[in-house]
Structure 1
Amino acid sequence: MGIYLDNAATSFPKPKEVATAVYDFMVNNGTSSGRGSYKKAMQSDYIVYECRKLIGKLFNFDNPKKVVFTSNVTDSLNIAMRGILKENDHVITSSLEHNAVWRCLKTLERDINIKIDTVECSKDGITNQQDIKKYIKKDTALIVFTQASNVLGTIQPIREIGAIAREHNIPFLVDSAQSAGAMKIDVKEDNIDILAFTGHKSLLGPMGTGGLIINTDIDIKPLKAGGTGGDSAYEYQPDYYPNHLETGTSNVSGIAGLREAIKFLNKEGIENIHNKEKELTKYALEKLETVKDIEIYGPKDCEKMLSVISFNIKDKRPEDVGSILDQKYDIMLRAGLHCAPTAHSVIGTKERGTLRIGLGYFNKKEDIDKLVEALNNL
């Protein structure tokens, strides 16, 4: 089936249990959650509730009602940012954000005149948390940071940033698109007020799943209003969770798959997964250094990054290299800006882009060997 090295975009393959759960629900149940009192609808309710509990436990959060399901992390981030930020508010963010954060902030800057400050980082994507303090103002309404860059893999000092946010009573929103499932996340110890996650990357679940952990009492204005299955006579969106931010028919088949994915992660162990991917990253960095005319970006230290590696080959367009790897060697990785132009500005590749390796739990060292061999034969 070829060599898949694009796990930073979406993980593949998924555990078999995930696909089985999605299929089983669609074939043998297929009912809406929260919309009926008959047996199959109650089974749907339980699937959704149990998944909320499992996700909460994974992130050391003990209130399932404030585990809110969305369609993906972009949806989650938009709900949080648009629900918190008001006209003329000030927000602090990193220099490495994905467009899921950056485009939303720039749109709010245009539409409601919010002010944005980006915290500088090194060329390796390392942020000094103390730099955040100089940007804090009286009207700072939110700090939003990616936990790990989707271009460089660099892990950000989330716990320390969260402590600074708490000290100044500023809500702290974390984008865990690259980190959830790939490393331990503890919303309490890490001082995270709102955690945005997606199901289809390192959580190993289906596309179309994601959510928010609401570890705060701050008011988040709903982005949407509609049916919730309860209090139907009330004309406004309910003020209690999860209905406050969830509306419409839930993706129960996807949630059924995500539930099994979380069970798989628990069985394998997040620490074991992290250590395996860290070992693969270290091996890949060492092997890639043997490729002629290669330039590797980021910290090049598996202790400071997750399993995302960006690189270029001298005098070759990343798109051309990616096409050759696909067509000739059946090796799949991503070329371009990876929806994160600000991160590419940091490393000076905004005009060119890079090739990106996204290693996952099911990759092997042999995959890296074949990639390096192919690169040396370009």
Structure 2
Amino acid sequence: MIYLDSAATSFYRPPQVAEAVAEAIRSIGNCSRGVHREALAGARIVFETRQLIAQLFHAPGPEQVAFTANATQSLNIAVKGLIAPGDRVVTTVLEHNSVLRPLYEMEKMGAELIVVGCEREKGDSRENNNIERTAQTAGRLDLEALKEAITPGTRAVVMTHASNLTGNCQNLAMVGAWCRQAGALFIVDASQTAGVFPIDMERDRIDVLCFTGHKGLMGPQGTGGLCVREGLVIRPLLSGGSGIRTFEKTHPSQMPTALEAGTLNGHGIAGLRAALYYIKEQGMDQLRKREQFLMKRFYEQVREIPDIRIYGDFSQKNRAPIVSLNLGDEDSAAVSDYLSQEYGIAVRPGGHCAPLMHLALGTKEQGAVRFSFSHFNTEEHIDTAVRALREY
């Protein structure tokens, strides 16, 4: 099997991740629910993982890192805990449904939602249609429109660091500066970039960074979290057991307990800790360079296939290791099934939970076939995938 679906979830993981999960299942108790050896072992693992996350993202400190089950839960906590009826919120067509659906809920409750689209080049020559087609398939965010939308009085800007469909990355520092100037909160979905690209909450002026553990961080599924700027208070999405202040009627307000009602996934967090150490030891820059090398090798070959359409801006020096494409008018699910059945190649077809991006690209009905790469992939994997597309 050749796994080229790492944007959905990591399949190739460092072996120490599974080993850490198995060891945690055998040895740890419930974090913050006792002072016996097993409970304290769990607490140490969780705290150490908070430290590693805070270091990775330059968060204010480990106490500002709250763990969740995934980025979807993190984004729901951030959106529903910071936005209220009457607030003005800006987002983009690049977003995953994990951003869009909570925002639509808040819009239904009375928030004003502004969605910024992709740029579209215009010309007056006979080649105008080709120019517009190029702009459309590149899927570049209209940065001028985004800047204009972030006006004083805007409550928050909620956006992804990189599109899970095109792989296009956004300049967080630039957008963060616009947010700071307008007095708007900056909430970032780092699902596709955590563990792959350097993110600095202080430099990029990020107020809330939402991440998942099972993609670029190569941790187990069921892990994720959010890093919160110091001093920012988020209304909890859940309340309940916390291990502290048992006799109070309200959930504790201090971080990270405020956002962590109930038992944490200590076993998954142990695996995430092992993955974070692996990234630290290997060097994130080296891992990213390998993934981008494989992506470029794939892109440069498939772009020559007749009647192929490739989506994304490949003029970007740094972009998420993703190539989405279509073969003529072939249904993306049919192409994906062929790759799986005939070559054992795992890719992702369909809508990718990114409806507005597909509308912008004109692929609502066809979907797209997404190839996404891991540094564990080989050149042989890439060349086999290219050959399979040529032979379709």
**TM-score class, shorter:** over 0.9
Partners of 1:41 and 1:316 in 2: CA distance:
55
The alignment status of 1:114 with 2:128, answered yes or no, reads no
The equivalent position to 1:92 in structure 2, one of 90, 93, 97, is 90
Task: Name the % identity.
Answer: 39
Partners of 1:130 and 1:347 in 2: CA distance:
19
Which residue is 1:325 aligned to?
339
Partners of 1:217 and 1:72 in 2: CA distance:
23
Partners of 1:184 and 1:355 in 2: CA distance:
27
- Structure 2 spans left out of the alignment, 5+ residues: 120-135
Cα deviation, 1:11-34, whole Å, max 9, x if unaligned, reads 1111100000001110233x1000
Cα deviation, 1:101-144, whole Å, max 9, x if unaligned, reads 0111112212x111111122233232344422322345421101
What does residue range 253-268 of structure 1 map to in structure 2 within 5 Å? 253-268=267-282
Distance 1:328 1:277, change over 3 A: same
Could you tell me which amino acid in structure 2 is paired with residue 121 of structure 1? C
Could you tell me which amino acid in structure 1 is paired with residue 22 of structure 2? Y
Contact (CA 8 Å) 1:5, 1:333: kept in 2 or not? yes
How many residue pairs are counted as aligned between the two chains?
375
- What TM-score, normalized to structure 1? 0.97
The alignment status of 1:301 with 2:315, answered yes or no, reads yes
The alignment status of 1:375 with 2:389, answered yes or no, reads yes
Q: Secondary structure at the match of 2:258?
A: coil
- What TM-score, normalized to structure 2? 0.93
Q: Secondary structure at the match of 1:195?
A: strand
Partners of 1:28 and 1:49 in 2: CA distance:
16
Q: Secondary structure at the match of 2:35?
A: coil
What does residue range 264-303 of structure 1 map to in structure 2 within 5 Å? 264-301=278-315, 303=317
Could you tell me which amino acid in structure 2 is paired with residue 48 of structure 1? V
Contact (CA 8 Å) 2:220, 2:271: kept in 1 or not? yes
Distance 1:318 1:128, change over 3 A: closer
Which residue is 1:176 aligned to?
190
Cα deviation, 1:153-180, whole Å, max 9, x if unaligned, reads 0001211000010111111000000000
Partners of 2:327 and 2:189 in 1: CA distance:
30
The equivalent position to 1:101 in structure 2, one of 87, 99, 102, is 99
Partners of 1:75 and 1:127 in 2: CA distance:
25
What does residue range 205-216 of structure 1 map to in structure 2 within 5 Å? 205-216=219-230
Name which of structure 1's ranges 234-243 and 195-204 shifts more when overlaid on structure 2: 234-243
Aligned-pair distance for 1:222? 0.6
The equivalent position to 1:313 in structure 2, one of 320, 323, 327, is 327
Contact (CA 8 Å) 2:139, 2:311: kept in 1 or not? no
Name which of structure 1's ranges 13-22 and 122-131 shifts more when overlaid on structure 2: 122-131
Contact (CA 8 Å) 1:91, 1:117: kept in 2 or not? yes
Which residue is 2:43 aligned to?
45
